[in-house]
Structure 1
Amino acid sequence: MTHEEYLDRVTHYIKLEREDDQALLTKFKTLLHYQAGSYDQDEAYQSLDKFIKENAESTMSPGQRNRVFYMALPPSVFVPVARGLRRNAYATDGVNRIVVEKPFGKDLASSTALAKDLAQLFAEKEIFRIDHYLGKEMVKNMMTVRFANIFFSHIWNRMYIDNVQITFKEPFGTEGRGGYFDEFGIIRDVMQNHLLQILSLIAMERPISTDAEAIRDEKVKVLKCIPTIDVRDTLLGQYTRNGDKPGYLEDTTLTNKDSLTPTFAALVLWIQNERWEGVPFILKAGKALDAAKVEVRIQFRHVAGNLYKNAARNELVIRVQPDEAVYMKFNNKLPGLSYQTSQTDLDLTYGNRYVDLSIPDAYESLLLDVLRNDHSNFVRDDELDAAWRIFTPLLHKIDQHDADIKIATYKYGSRGPDALDGFVKHYGYDRSHAHYDWPVQSVLPKTD
């Protein structure tokens, strides 16, 4: 690329929302530089090192010459690039940090090998494995909701919670990325990383502090309590044509037209510890579904000896995207002369409550964390091992087309496979009051 082409590429999607944003963008461009080079040549990294010293560090004092290397690259070149950077462009009079984008391997063995190779080049404290879901506002809010509210801390266990669902929906299919997606599938793409990270924040014990390592210690502990996923606790699917919307196998970039790669998965994880024994954590994710949504739905048990037989279960819902919100579904007497029970909610929708606050993009938040040297929202090496251990046996069965693996179909734009409602019901989810309307109070008749 030319320098101008580079500037256009990196600033093309920056949103200008205020009057002075254009001036700020122009100023920002003066800070950007482009240096071309090959991944596998020491000379390229030596040129990069020289360029940084002459253009960025020449006015800095020793000890201030800190470098962040962000590797938004194919996994196949993670190690060669890290090796080239460590050998030729490693700061000698400042700190070094290296940011690695997922996927962090394809299974436990490949992830462990990658971690081992990186560990020979950079210290663990220098490595930031970025999962952008940990930068999302509502994911970062989960610890506050759990540990800063006493009424949640006492009911956050198997005595009161019946089941937990973590749902990820995309309303579009692979759309020309089938060749790439087929190598990973929906489980590797979003469940082993994004959704499992959310689960760990919901299920972990209270850390001794908000220190990054204290938080990550507790996440690792809870992940180690989860056994590998049983095939009997899975529902896998692949979307098919619906009208003018093509099915997954019709993607022109997909070479394997007999692919059994799931584009939808519902998986049940069990946490074998005192707090969560017997509570199913249902992870659901899919492409070409009926909506765009990521949410956590915690459904509580029925009230024991309930006087009101038709009362719905309480639910705490944390909507990660779109339109961030936290709301509690609860039962209330219908206003007026009736004693009918009505389901309603205590609603904290961010767009209504925090009208003058801007929520940063997840990457904005995480990049700032890198600069601050805050590892709280990044994945540690042992955490990655614990996560892959849970999923690897199931992934290998899918890859090998094991006879136990069944792939259902669902139409593009639907809620998923037809068996989905029965699947979640089997694990205790009560959907009888899933949809409700705000009651409208009747008015007195007019008199003459």
Structure 2
Amino acid sequence: MATPIELLQNEVKAELGDSVTIIVLGASGDLAKKKTYPALFGLFRNGFLPKNTHIVGYARTGMSHQDYLERITQYIKPGDNNEHKSKIEEFKKITSYVSGLYDKDEAWQGLDNAVKKSENDRKIPSGNKHRIFYMALPPSIFIPVAKGVKKNVYGHEGVNRLIVEKPFGMDSESSNHLAHELGQLFKEDEIYRIDHYLGKEMVKNVMNMRFANIFFSNVWDRNYIDNVQITFKEPFGTEGRGGYFDDFGIIRDVMQNHLLQVLSLIAMERPISTDAEAIRDEKVKVLKCISPISLDDALLGQYVAANGKPGYLEDETLKNKESRTPTFAALACHINNERWEGVPFILKAGKALNEAKVEVRIQFRHVPGNLYGGSARNELVMRIQPKEAVYMKFNNKQPGLSYQTIQTDLDLSYHKRYTELSIPDAYESLILDVLRNDHSNFVRDDELEAAWKIFTPLLHKIDGKNKKSAEGKDSGDDLKITTYAYGSRGPAELDEFVKSHGYDRTNAHYSWPHQSVAALSNKL
């Protein structure tokens, strides 16, 4: 019987045979060196790349082959054995670099000639000259690069796949424009819109938990669940990226994509199969049921100096010193369907907070006619990072002579339970999905359109007020941006906000014992 690894290798072979050329566009950038190339090396080391693979880096930066190799390997985790070092040397032999502009046909043709030469040198037969294009680029040049690729480098003797990094636009209009332009150049099944959160182990586990366990599937609705919180916390501020961040804000940067993807997996109906399109159909359906978020369902904040750290407005790269761009947001989403009517989904995300954490917290309703009236609600928590875990808070008798009810946990901490297994990086997992031609964990065009409709009205209100403040005009009082101290839990109003949407912290004195960063349950 084939092992799980062999099954995946067979799927790649069935799709691509023994050969593929991977072209990394923007190969000199931070994303490529920090994420793309380490992920490609991980796939190479574990035998997931076809035997006859070549990786071509392309960017405007002029550099020697040796400089290129040093750049793309500097973030590969060092190994302490000769086998690892030998693998890195082998990896270097299957990659090369071409320098060229993004807006000149002659430059793209130079890249195409380099790819053709590599294909000929590797003796790849016609029909097997597969090309995968990874756009590790800023969104401002997605369209011209896609046009250059399609006109000059698109392969006609094999399959073509285009990986596009977020952000996918700034609002509904810009996103639809990008989708239209890409759709004119590539077929939808050739496009892989990558949101790396969909490659994270615990996010990929949501469907297994929901649909492979009868006790979850039977309580997964408004009759048993009171509220759902999806939390993203970073312990650092913009710190030199204020100019970039001010154009996007925390909602575009994290919530419209990462957190909404998690929400759709938590809330969608059971798909008819595990086929990629069946899964994405259900995600689109549930997103279409979510009302656009209003200011009444939003708590917006911006961090200020504290604990020796500068505030957001003190970032030297920030041009608009009157900026009203949120660095923290708590938003309540309402899903208008039979399963979830009346259950708020609270998305929370912020920078410069007290810890690094991403998790889903599902709080169940109180037990009807509870004999032990003072007992806390049950909660199911899925920790996405750091240190993946699933745990269930439930009520139990205090051991010993006491009859007091206490809260305890059923705990699955991955780093304790799965000591023999290594969890791959999200990018590694998603690039493998591209090789396997599995679209399950990528964003479809209609899914993207439905997602932007939820956030665009709120974003336009924030953008309008921010523009007025930058021009020195009165920005109005209808957009309240509260402040919070660098290193805190967030705005002081947060507790009241989540309480107003149903979250009950009464008698919640339990702390998860295996939590690695800070006491967990009572610090949300």
Kept in 2: contact 1:164–1:279 (CA 8 A): yes
Which piece of structure 1 moves more, 422-431 or 163-172? 422-431
Aligned residue identity for 2:73 = T
Q: Distance in 1 between matches of 2:297 and 2:479?
A: 11
1:80 is the counterpart of 2:144: yes
Q: How big is the shift at 1:18?
A: 5.0
Q: Pick from 90, 95, 101: which aligns with 2:154? A: 90
Change (3 A) 1:94 1:179: same
**Cα distance change on mapping 1:208 and 1:57 into 2, 3 Å:** farther
2:440 match: 376
1:425 lines up with 2:488 in the alignment: no
Structure 1 CA distance, aligned partners of 2:87 and 2:361?
A: 41
Residue type of the partner of 1:436? Y
- Work out the CA distance in 1 between the residues paired with 2:198 and 2:205: 10
Residue 436 of structure 1, CA deviation: 1.6
1:173 aligns with 2:247: no
Map 1:325-364 → 2, pairs under 5 A: 325-364=389-428
1:44 is matched with 107
C-alpha separation between the residues in 1 aligned to 2:79 and 2:405? 46
Pick closer, same or farther for the CA change 1:428–1:2 going to 2, 3 Å. Answer: same
Q: 1:125-204 alignment to 2 at 5 Å?
A: 125-204=189-268
Deviation per CA, 1:294-326: give whole Å up to 9, x if none.
000000000000000111100000000000000
Matched, 1:15 2:77: yes
Cα distance in 2, alignment partners of residues 394 and 165 from structure 1? 20
* Correspondence 1:318 to 2:382: yes
TM-score (norm 1): 0.97
Question: Where in structure 2 are the equivalents of 1:299-310 lying within 5 Å?
Answer: 299-310=363-374
How far apart, CA to CA, are the structure 2 residues paired with 1:213 and 1:5?
42
Q: Which runs of 5+ in 2 are unaligned?
A: 1-62, 466-475, 514-524
Amino acid at match of 2:498: V
Q: In the aligned structure 1, how far is the partner of 2:80 from the partner of 2:452?
A: 44
1:258 aligned residue: 322
| Cα pair distance change 1:435/1:367, threshold 3 Å | farther
Deviations 1:246-277 (A, max 9, x none): 00000000010000000000000000000000
CA distance in 2, matches of 1:438, 1:99: 39
Q: Kindly tell me the number of residue pairs found equivalent between the two proteins.
A: 439
Q: Secondary structure at the match of 1:183?
A: helix
* Residues 1:248 and 2:312 are matched in the alignment: yes
Shift of 1:4: 1.3
**1:206-232 deviations in Å (ceiling 9; x for gaps):** 000000000000000000000100110
Q: Pick from 106, 111, 118 the counterpart of residue 175 of structure 2.
A: 111
> Secondary structure at 1:35's aligned position in 2?
strand
Amino acid paired to 1:432:
T
Distance 1:278 1:438 in 2: 29
Checking the alignment, whether the CA contact within 8 Å between 2:397 and 2:404 is kept in structure 1 is yes
- For 1:433 and 1:212, locate their aligned partners in 2 and report how far apart those are by CA, in whole Å: 43
Q: 1:250 to 1:60 in 2, by over 3 A?
A: same
Distance 1:41 1:283 in 2: 43
- Over the matched positions of the two proteins, sequence identity in percent amounts to 71
Corresponding residue number in structure 2 for 1:24: 87
CA contact (8 A) 1:220 1:382 kept: yes
Match of 1:9, as an amino acid?
R
| Residues 151-198 of structure 1: CA deviation (Å, up to 9, x unaligned) | 000100000000000000000000100000000000000000000000
C-alpha distance in structure 1 between counterparts of 2:147 and 2:323, whole Å? 36
Which amino acid is the alignment partner of residue 389 of structure 2? A
Q: Deviations over 1:321-368 (max 9, x none)?
A: 000000000000011111100100000000010000000000000000
TM-score calculated relative to the size of structure 2: 0.83
Q: Specify the SS of the correspondent of 1:15.
A: coil
Contact 2:273 2:279 in 1 (8 A): yes
Q: Tell me the distance in 2 between the aligned counterparts of 1:2 and 1:267.
A: 48
**CA distance 1:438–1:215, change in 2 (3 Å):** closer
Amino acid at match of 1:362: A
More deviation in 69-78 or 253-262? 69-78
**Cα distance in 2 between the residues matched to 1:23 and 1:65:** 28
**1:408 counterpart letter in structure 2:** T
What are the equivalent positions in structure 2 for 1:383-422 lying under 5 Å apart? 383-401=447-465, 403-422=477-496
For 1:371 and 1:155, the matched residues in 2 are separated by: 36
Deviations 1:104-137 (A, max 9, x none): 0000000000000000000000000000000000
Summarize deviations over 1:48-71 as a string: whole Å, max 9, x none: 111011124441111111001111
Larger RCO (CA within 8 A; separation ≥ 6): 1
Uncovered stretches (5+) of structure 1, i.e. residues with no partner: 440-448
Q: Verify the 8 A CA contact 1:57 1:65 in the aligned structure 2.
A: no
Q: Higher helix fraction: Structure 1 or Structure 2?
A: 2
**Is the CA contact (8 Å cut-off) linking 1:138 and 1:319 kept in structure 2?**
yes
Preserved CA contact (<8 Å) 2:307 2:487: no
Work out whether 1:2 is the aligned partner of 2:64: yes
TM-superposed deviation, 1:433? 4.0
C-alpha contact (below 8 Å) 2:396/2:405 kept by paired residues: yes
Q: Give the Cα separation in 1 of the matches to 2:508 and 2:135.
A: 43
Q: What secondary structure sits across from 2:504 in the alignment? A: coil
Kindly report structure 1 stretches of 4+ aligned residues shifted beyond 2 Å.
432-435
RMSD (CA atoms): 1.1
**Is the contact made by 2:79 and 2:85 (CA closer than 8 Å) also made in structure 1?**
no
Q: Describe the superposition over 1:368-413 as per-residue Cα deviations: whole angstroms up to 9, x where unpaired.
A: 0011111000000000000000000000000011642110000000
How far apart, CA to CA, are the structure 1 residues paired with 2:134 and 2:511?
48
Cα distance between partner residues in 1 of 2:329 and 2:151: 42
